[in-house]
Structure 1
Amino acid sequence: MSTQRLNGTVKWFNTQKGYGFIKPDGQDKDVFVHISALQESGLDRLNDNQRISFEMVDDRQGKKSAGKLQLING
């Protein structure tokens, strides 16, 4: 089963708090992103307004969040 990748823009990410939100293209609801998703994807930080590709995954509490992050260049 293939998982759909989504593209979006980082609304904000606070490294000290360890989380932030991504605004998916064409959707109204922002997606939560935890610092552990960055670490698992080999990223050290996200910048506001940065373009990103991601998959919806279940977090440790079983809630949907962004995972398998990849930066979109350009």
Structure 2
Amino acid sequence: MANGTVKWFDPAKGFGFITPEGGGPDVFVHHSVLPEGVRSLTEGQAVRYEVESTPRGAKVASLQLT
């Protein structure tokens, strides 16, 4: 799993981006991968996540709050 911080997340739209701890491009995160009971993420929040490659680029496949 990779570590990163939430760059931004729009709960109305249900998505946002995570900035990887080690640098590199931001990673798309969709509300469907948030842990049960979590409805939003906060800018600057620390997270652990797994990345999945898609034709549109990298996206978060699973996410844990740290």
Whether TM-score is above 0.5 comes out as: yes
SS at match of 2:33: helix
SS at match of 2:13: coil
Structure 2 unpaired stretches of 5+: none
Matches of 2:52 and 2:40, distance apart in 1? 19
TM-score (normalizing by structure 2): 0.84
Structure 1 unpaired stretches of 5+: none
| Aligned-residue offset at 1:37 | 1.2
Contact 2:2-2:20 at 8 Å conserved across structures: yes
Q: Identity across aligned pairs (percent)?
A: 42
4+ residue segments displaced more than 2 Å: 61-64
Task: Judging by fraction of residues, say which structure has more strand.
Answer: 2
Equivalenced residues, count? 65
Establish whether residue 67 from structure 1 lines up as the match of residue 61 from structure 2.
yes
Aligned-residue RMSD, C-alpha = 1.8
